[in-house]
Amino acid sequence: MKTVTRLIKKVLETQRLSKQEIVRLLWAKDTEKAELTAAADTRRRTVFGDGVHLRGLIEFSNQCGQRCTYCGLQAGNGILSRYTMTAAEILAAAATAHDLGYRTIVLQSGQHPDMPAAKLAQLINRIKKQWPDMALTLSIGERSLEHYRRFRTAGADRYLLKQETTNERLYRQLHPQSDYNNRLQCAWNLQALGYQLGSGHMVGLPGQTAEDIADDLLFFQALNADMVGIGPFIPHPATPLADAPRPDLALVEKTVALARLLLPRSHLPATTSVESLAPQGRKAVLQAGANVVMPNVTPLCYRRDYQLYPGKAGVEQAARRLQESVETELKSIGRFSAPGRGDAPGALATIGGMPHEL
């Protein structure tokens, strides 16, 4: 039996691969790659069926106190015009998401240095009271345990906090103001508070190796992440990494496929960054194990200013148009938008649970 066929058989049977085995699969080319993504696609269908969960993304503030060397929102980017949506604007965007049938909204922002926890908790509470059938995900970076508790008590269901890379040396280079272990502790705190936790990383970071990607995947597995956001790094001209190369779509597809095989029950989004990397990127990843899309419902007047990376897909399209194009794409590959909140399959077991130990 060929090595790749043997490794795929092993992970299908045991959900286990060693670091070196993952690296071998990350090197897969042509027919080997096709075999890997097909196995992941079948796994996705067995676990989740053909429904794709749509989550309405509200990019409510681009204020950020961090200086992450890859991100267009980093505090040193003085050309960006900064905004924070008002509570009324956020509520209107949530209403749009609900009207479009989305049963999850994701409130995302930079790591806003002065966003008061009380104000945000009040807003979460209003959204959850108005739309009790809608799940709420926060993605606002590192905060204290106390703040996470307040948001959870106010009704937040899920939290997306990507580790970005598990290579600590690389992490320090990319995040001069942030501490690797604090980010990790934040993830554990969120799990301890009963949030459904999303982790994730960027693929193709300058200095990142296949071994690093393998370590990341093993980390997501050990963390038992309910969601894993895997996106390509795209260089932004107003950052220190402006001249770094873009990764190949194929590497992103293989990473998503491996995530599906190692974490069969985790939600895996086809990220906006993969759509921005290549026109067929989203479709390719949806056929390599992904089962979630996060269409943007941020008001059009703010979209351009939430510029994480250049050429971000969908900045000109109103929420309804974006939904239509997602639905058309899903139909073209035999998929459809799934009803309901799309909670993590194991979520109820973790609510109120203890931190996972790595």
Smallest separation (angstroms) from ligand SAM to the CB of 25: 23
Binding positions for ligand SAM, 138-157, rule CB under 6 A: 139-141
Look at strands 51-54 and 196-203 and give their pairing.
unpaired
Residue from 39, 82, 92, 78 nearest 62 by CA: 82
User: Could you tell me the strand order of the sheet in which 158-160 lies?
Assistant: 56-61, 104-109, 135-139, 158-160, 196-203, 227-232
- Applying CB under 6 A, which part among 29-37, 120-128, 160-168, 214-222 lies near ligand SAM? 160-168
* Single residue of 233, 313, 314, 342 touching ligand SAM by CB under 6 A: 233
CB closer to ligand SAM out of 72 and 299? 72
**Tokens, residue 187:** 């993830």
Please list the residues that pair with 230 across neighbouring strands.
Answer: 201
Residue from 271, 275, 264 nearest 229 by CA: 271
Residue of minimal CB distance from ligand SAM? 141
Position 94 contacts ligand SAM (CB under 6 A): no
* Single residue of 127, 309, 342, 350 touching ligand SAM by CB under 6 A: 309
Binding positions for ligand SAM, 246-305, rule CB under 6 A: 273
Residue from 47, 52, 50, 38 nearest 257 by CA: 38
Smallest separation (angstroms) from ligand SAM to the CB of 306: 8
**Tokens, residue 198:** 């999303």
State how far the Cα of 326 lies from the Cα of 176, in Å rounded to an integer.
37
CB closer to ligand SAM out of 48 and 151? 151
Residue count, binding to ligand SAM (CB under 6 A): 20
Binding positions for ligand SAM, 109-138, rule CB under 6 A: 110-111
Smallest separation (angstroms) from ligand SAM to the CB of 162: 4
* Phi and psi torsions of 125, nearest 5°: -60, -45
Smallest separation (angstroms) from ligand SAM to the CB of 308: 4
* Single residue of 41, 157, 164, 253 touching ligand SAM by CB under 6 A: 164
Position 234 contacts ligand SAM (CB under 6 A): yes
CB atoms within 10 A of CB 37: 22
**Tokens, residue 31:** 């027919």
Binding positions for ligand SAM, 54-83, rule CB under 6 A: 70-71, 73
Binding positions for ligand SAM, 185-224, rule CB under 6 A: 202
User: Is there a contact between 298 and 83 (Cβ–Cβ < 8 Å)?
Assistant: no
CB atoms within 10 A of CB 243: 9
Provide the greatest CA pair distance for the chain.
60
CB closer to ligand SAM out of 43 and 112? 112
CB closer to ligand SAM out of 229 and 264? 229
Q: Calculate the dihedral angle through the C-alpha atoms of 277, 282, 288, 290, rounding to the nearest 10 degrees.
A: 120
Binding site for ligand SAM (CB under 6 A): 70-71, 73, 108, 110-111, 139-141, 161-162, 164, 202, 231, 233-234, 236, 273, 308-309
